[in-house]
Copies of this chain bind each other. A is one copy, B any other.
Amino acid sequence: MATKVTIRDVAAEAGVSVTTVSHVLNHFSGARVSDDTRERVQAAARRLGYAANGLARGLRLQRSQTLGLLSDEIATTPYAGRIILGAQETASARGWLLILLTTGNDPHVEQREIRALAQHRADGVLYATMYHRKVEVPAELRTMPVVLLDASSADPAISSVVPDEFGGAQAAVRHLLEHGHRSIGFVNNEDDIPATHLRLDGYRAALAAAGVPYRPELVTAATTDARSGYRAAIRLLDRADRPTALFCFNDRLAMGAYRAAAELGLTIPLDLSIVGYDDQELIAAGLYPGLTTVALPHYEMGAWAVTTMIDLLEGRLAGDPPRITMPCPLIERESVAAPSHT
């Protein structure tokens, strides 16, 4: 392996002392160095490809310009990519580095990761969860600046960004109502997580705003995979007064609902309209017809969390720590039309 160019090599190349090189490259304002010498040192450093030592600079500024992205199991999920990308590109654009850590929901691993971040003097930590969760920030993290990503805490002192599950569900159901549907089934998630409750609230609010009565028999819950979606959709559709539209908690459930529709001889969107949630491109764009769905703003949440953290660290934010709910936009494809029997 090639040896790293050191400050000694630059000094030899420029014919000056190591101290002079250090003063020039570190921009010490108090150092008395002639313009000629300064230029010679800079040219030598360029010729040799010398990279100023970020570690040493970090010590001087008491800042490493690095952030930790500490997540539960984010990297194992299909959602991970765009959260990480949003955080990474934003950090990079501002000249910061992102260290990636995954705990696998193991508290021992989490403690080890947090110690490693502290040892490397990471300036702040983005604490991210795979899906919108309420969390307790681990005690070990309380000595560092923290921003929660796709998670929120009961502690108002901690900044956080979460998706607007309520608004997203409301937009999905409103979209169906606007196409004339009055009998809209909902295949919900059965897990006790914020999205389950908030999307049900959004579904009910949209119906109420349109004067459509809430009918509990049109709501069912399932584990969030295509097979459960298939079974749940069969339950809702295999009845005399079957709904003309389904809102599904996610695109995987919607994928199962497509199969249920095909088996029951229902054409999408003529006989049945479907709206999903997540905008998982592999599924939503891959289904035929393309699935209208609600997007989770993963990239935007990652970007926001990094921007907020750097602004906090650089003292650009005044007032209470920002805590925001980010909109979930409706992505229209081809799975929604007016009900055929109206």
Contact = CB atoms under 8 A, between A and B. Distances in A.
A296 B262 CA distance: 31
A99 B98 contact: yes
A118 B280 CA distance: 36
Nearest to A116: B97
A198 interface: no
Contacts of A240: none
A85 interface: yes
B75 A285 contact: no
A317 B104 CA distance: 30
In the assembly, how many copies of this chain are there?
2
Interface in A101-131: 101-102, 104, 109, 112-113, 115-121
A304 interface: no
Given A55-B64, A225-B286, A287-B226, A80 B76 contact: no
A169 interface: no
Interface of A: 1-2, 4-5, 49, 51-59, 64, 66, 69, 75-78, 80-82, 84-85, 88-89, 92, 95, 97-102, 104, 109, 112-113, 115-121, 140, 142-145, 225-227, 230, 252, 255-256, 259, 262, 280, 282-283, 285-288, 312
